[in-house]
Structure 1
Amino acid sequence: MQKANSAQPRFVHRERLTTHQAHPDWDILIGDGPVIATAIHDGHAMRPSLEPHLALAAEDRRREEDPLTGVLTSVGDVRIRVDTSRFQVDLNRPRDKAVSKDPADTWGLQVWHAPLPEHEMQRSLAGHDDFYATVTELIDRMLERWDALLLIDIHSYNHRRDGADAPPAPQAGNPDIELGVTTLDPDRWGHVAERFADVLRRYLIAGREPDVRENVRFPTGGHFPEWVYATWGERVCTISPEYKKHYMDEWTGLADIAVLEQCRRGLAKAVAAVRPEFLACR
């Protein structure tokens, strides 16, 4: 069979950053570009040695996790999805709060039957240390190629905490998509956040234009983006989309894949709209 001729090559060899080895607690997919997308609360896995200590049922844990947010990381050139539950170690909290010791820190939920043995606590905290060391090296390496990066720190939140048969929380304080932008430099990146929000509003979710607002439910942001800003300042623009769980039933766990895809599509369009700002920073 004769080979087809092609005036333009379709594949080229390029050097790029790759992971040296896989990690059991998270997945990192690395492409070539300045956009990082993370889903650090997507996971549900729990270390077997912790299971005898758990006082919280699996369905109650799942309700406070951010299931399927890993799907949305497809918008990133670099994607990080954490497999383990935030109840094993919460990577969006400072180290001293990363493993629950007080129900007041976990929405009144009693996570453990009794205080964890010290060796189990230290094993979980080692995961926190490892994650932050990994992200430090990753961002440092990416900043060798790109002058500035866009970090999309993806989460979801409950709006039916009063029960399966209770009405949802009022819309006034619960936007469909909340954008956490407390940890970006407003002088350099404020226009990027505005453009990002404007594009998100154009793409229907569940048949209507989404209500997109900034810093409503979570006005102080989370530890992870705060740490990123404290470490790299204006060189990393962090936007933290918090999706109301209108793509799933919080109480049954059933997901509406069509609505999830609408969320993903809108997010992809918003990232595409601001990507040129970061490509220009080479």
Structure 2
Amino acid sequence: MRDMFDTPDPRQPHSEVFLSAATPPALRLREEAWDLIVSDGPVIATAIHDGHLLRPSLQPLVALDDTARWREEDPLTSLLTQVGDVRLRVRRSRFEVDLNRPRAQAIYTSPEAAWGLEVWRAPLDETEREASLALYDRFYAMTGELIDRTVERWGCALLIDIHSYNHRRDGPDAPPAAAADNPDIELGITTLDPRRWGDTARRFANVLRRHPVRNALPDVRCNVRFPTGGHFPEWVYAHWGERVCTISPEYKKIFMDEWSGQVDIPALYALRDGLQHAVDAVRPEFLS
């Protein structure tokens, strides 16, 4: 049997992971809540808010329709994970459990926690809450073992924690939010060691700026809209410190209409290509 760090056969399904008897327990579990592809390399790319699925027992309890939920998720960000040696896409919706928030806040219990949206028809009972939190725990156990093995193999790792954000919250016919406060690509770098990885992050950003999207060079800035980062990169930093360089790109939804759902395919692929160039530019720093 192949080790999980062998290069996977491209003919295999997206969710196929090659495992060995030495693989840690959480990585051996078959899990329908996410897709994981692992090949030999130090770059991990994640799309933890891409998912839209809810487990069957929650579907009659949710007060939002599919369109309202989808607008606040990060659809299509999993395509951008193609830049990683390790690719992780969570299939479950953030409305079931938000993996980028602390465990105590991972289930939305009020409109204030969910962009003013009333998520549930009634408060969830303890059975449903525990089921969601069990998924949260499985995710962090699996990801912890994945990062441990990557760092053991390479000495360090580059984690690309990919998200997207809305910029037309006033409605489909209203003007978009001001560009001054809404870069095309925001890089969250609050949870990397600046002494070890500051130059790496600057090179990464400069390469992104050189690759046009929709016939224009993108506005790429750091820590503008989300200056405090998210729980997932904070957890990575707390456990692995300077051994993992975490960069969290937040893509303004210039690759789609966030109200109608219409996708600008060339823009999406241009963003993917720019991200690939940025990863390639800094990859040698993680191969020593």
**Structure 2 length-normalised TM:** 0.91
Are 2:63 and 1:41 aligned?
no
Residue type of the alignment partner of 2:165? Y
Are 2:121 and 1:113 aligned?
yes
Shift of 1:234: 0.4
Matches of 2:129 and 2:4, distance apart in 1: 37
Deviations 1:29-84 (A, max 9, x none): 00100000000000101111101111111101000000000000000000000001
Find the counterpart in structure 2 of residue 65 from structure 1.
73
Matches of 1:143 and 1:178, distance apart in 2: 26
Shift of 1:141: 1.3
Find the counterpart in structure 2 of residue 177 from structure 1.
185
Identical-pair percentage: 65
Are 2:190 and 1:200 aligned?
no
Find the counterpart in structure 2 of residue 5 from structure 1.
none
Shift of 1:22: 2.9
Find the counterpart in structure 2 of residue 6 from structure 1.
none
Are 2:174 and 1:166 aligned?
yes
Matches of 1:252 and 1:211, distance apart in 2: 24
Are 2:226 and 1:229 aligned?
no
Find the counterpart in structure 2 of residue 238 from structure 1.
246
Q: Larger C-alpha radius of gyration, 1 or 2?
A: 1
- Residue segments in structure 2 that go unaligned for 5+ positions in a row: 6-17, 20-27
Matches of 2:123 and 2:226, distance apart in 1: 28
Are 2:112 and 1:93 aligned?
no
Assess, with a 3 A threshold, how the Cα gap between structure 1 residues 22 and 14 changes in structure 2: closer, same or farther: closer
Matches of 2:2 and 2:117, distance apart in 1: 49
Choose the corresponding residue for 1:248, options 256, 266, 269: 256
Are 2:265 and 1:264 aligned?
no
Matches of 2:166 and 2:113, distance apart in 1: 16
Matches of 1:77 and 1:141, distance apart in 2: 13
Question: Which runs of structure 1 show a deviation greater than 2 angstroms over 4 or more consecutive aligned residues?
Answer: 13-22
Shift of 1:99: 0.6
How many residues matched? 268
Choose the corresponding residue for 1:126, options 126, 134, 146: 134
Shift of 1:21: 4.3
Matches of 2:111 and 2:102, distance apart in 1: 16
Find the counterpart in structure 2 of residue 136 from structure 1.
144
Deviations 1:162-201 (A, max 9, x none): 0000000000000000000000000000000000000000
Shift of 1:14: 7.8
Residue type of the alignment partner of 1:202? R
Assess, with a 3 A threshold, how the Cα gap between structure 1 residues 126 and 14 changes in structure 2: closer, same or farther: closer
Shift of 1:254: 1.1
Assess, with a 3 A threshold, how the Cα gap between structure 1 residues 16 and 130 changes in structure 2: closer, same or farther: closer
Matches of 1:61 and 1:90, distance apart in 2: 13
Are 2:155 and 1:147 aligned?
yes
